[in-house]
Structure 1
Amino acid sequence: MTGPEARVAVVVPAAGRGERLGGGVPKALRPLGGRPMLVHAVQALAAADLVSQIVVAAPPTLVEVVSRLLGPDVRVLAGGAERVDSVRGALRALDDDIRVVLVHDAARPLTPPSLVDAVAAAVLGGQPAVIPVLPVADTVKEVDAQGRVLRTPTRDGLRAVQTPQGFRREVLEAAYANSDDGPAVTDDAGLVERLGVPVTTIPGAEEAFKVTRPIDLVFAEALLARRPLAESGRS
């Protein structure tokens, strides 16, 4: 049983190229406010009260560079060809006494530490899997391969999913042990759902949006510029 004394780790898969964002460098290392997005993301994780270990899966050729950027308190290892490979490798690198694991996108650099703690606290409180979500603002259409609308689902039961996503360690390890079975999924909770494990939602944060396209980077720069200097980490 997970208790309040359990140690919490965060895994950050950051080995992807992020081609939609462009720029010629891995997405996690794209500058935001003069520093790589990954640095912002990791600093927010380190500021969370409940996090005791951070493991980052970096591009294999940039492990030393990323290690210097993040400092000695963050464990950096070579990521895999796919996100699942990076997370699986990071799970093997966790300290033995870690009982709760969060997985966080490096491309969500402005996620508040309070959200990180809220996810961790929910798992520590007994939930096997927890994800932060926001209501869907846009109307959503399901379409076929030719672009024809099949149906319009009601927004009442739809939520946009964010990270970090939190899990009891044994649950996430079991999910990744079976990650090669079935169709591809786009988040860690999707793998856990295949096990039949219930996934609980908590309110997300508007600032925890994902930087995927150039316009997202513009929004992130604007938000960062409005933060107090101490909070943004600028000198």
Structure 2
Amino acid sequence: MTTLAILTAAGSGSRLGRSIPKALVHLGGTPLVVHAARSLDRSGAVDAIVVTAPADYTEQISRLLDGDPQVDVPVTVVAGGSTRQASVAAGLAAAGEASVVLVHDAARPLAPARLVRRVVDAVQAGHGAVVPGMPLVDTVKRVAAPPLQGSGPRAESVQDTVERSGLRAVQTPQGFSHDLLTRAHAHGAARAEDQDMAASDDAGLVESLGEAVVVVRGDERAMKITTARDLEIADLLLAEDE
């Protein structure tokens, strides 16, 4: 089976306090997007990568990946869309034929090769949609909206405590059969350009078709980098790996 990875790298770096796209922020001296592409390549399970990048940075990211000695698989860089869903759709449109499609975020640069292989293996075993997930460790409360009114700190009313044993924090890469992911994006295309309505992950689009999604074991190193603190933690994890 041929496996294609769509690597989403079109997000901003605003919550990191940077004026450049998040994918170009350095971790241990290397841009996040390069780390993520290396992990996909290192898995030995990916045959090609399509990167969705901010339109003004496609050439820069293409040069970075073309010149990296640790990325041997073919890489194509295309302009992403206004939402994550639209960016993945752009990646699908630029992709060639593949049996398995992975969707991965450059904001999860340290997702290990073993996790990539685990997801690909599950799709190849016959599951049309596969997501890695981690059990929740914190107690989860469901609160009412809007917040309570008052002069003190912002407060919300607790409705109940959610049973967490059946909950998972979902990561990437997520894996799909090519046909199922294409059908899911076609079905949800009307939502793609609306930031409030666009799917936050591709498994959600598959769920909206009524198709099954399965969860495989995630990995703590597949953490998402959103804030400056996340970047500091990722630096520590990278130092451990090295």
**Which amino acid is the alignment partner of residue 206 of structure 1?**
E
50, 53, 57: which is aligned to 2:48?
53
1, 11, 16: which is aligned to 1:16?
11
Deviation at 1:144, TM superposition (A): 2.0
Deviation at 1:181, TM superposition (A): 5.3
In the other structure, the counterpart of 1:186 is 200
In the other structure, the counterpart of 2:70 is none
In the other structure, the counterpart of 1:118 is 118
1:107 aligns with 2:80: no
How far apart, CA to CA, are the structure 1 residues paired with 2:16 and 2:208? 31
**Which amino acid is the alignment partner of residue 89 of structure 1?**
A
How far apart, CA to CA, are the structure 1 residues paired with 2:185 and 2:232? 35
SS of alignment partner, residue 14 of structure 2 = coil
How far apart, CA to CA, are the structure 2 residues paired with 1:175 and 1:36? 31
Q: Map of 1:48-197 to 2, 5 A cutoff?
A: 48-71=43-66, 73-96=74-97, 98-145=98-145, 146=147, 147-180=156-189, 183-197=197-211
CA RMSD of superposed structures (Å): 1.3
Which string of whole-angstrom CA distances, capped at 9 and with x for unpartnered residues, describes residues 184-225 of structure 1? 431110110011110011100110000011110000011111
How far apart, CA to CA, are the structure 2 residues paired with 1:18 and 1:187? 19
Q: With structure 1 as the length reference, what TM-score do the two structures score?
A: 0.91
Which string of whole-angstrom CA distances, capped at 9 and with x for unpartnered residues, describes residues 104-133 of structure 1? 011001010110011011001100100001
Unpaired runs of at least 5, structure 2: 68-73, 148-155, 192-196
Runs of 4+ deviating beyond 2 Å = 180-185
Which string of whole-angstrom CA distances, capped at 9 and with x for unpartnered residues, describes residues 147-196 of structure 1? 22122111111111000000001111111112245744311101100111
Q: State the percentage of identical aligned residues.
A: 48
SS of alignment partner, residue 207 of structure 1 = helix
Pairs aligned (count): 222
In the other structure, the counterpart of 1:201 is 215
Q: With structure 2 as the length reference, what TM-score do the two structures score?
A: 0.88
**Contact 2:48/2:75, CA 8 A, preserved across alignment:** yes
1:226 aligns with 2:240: yes
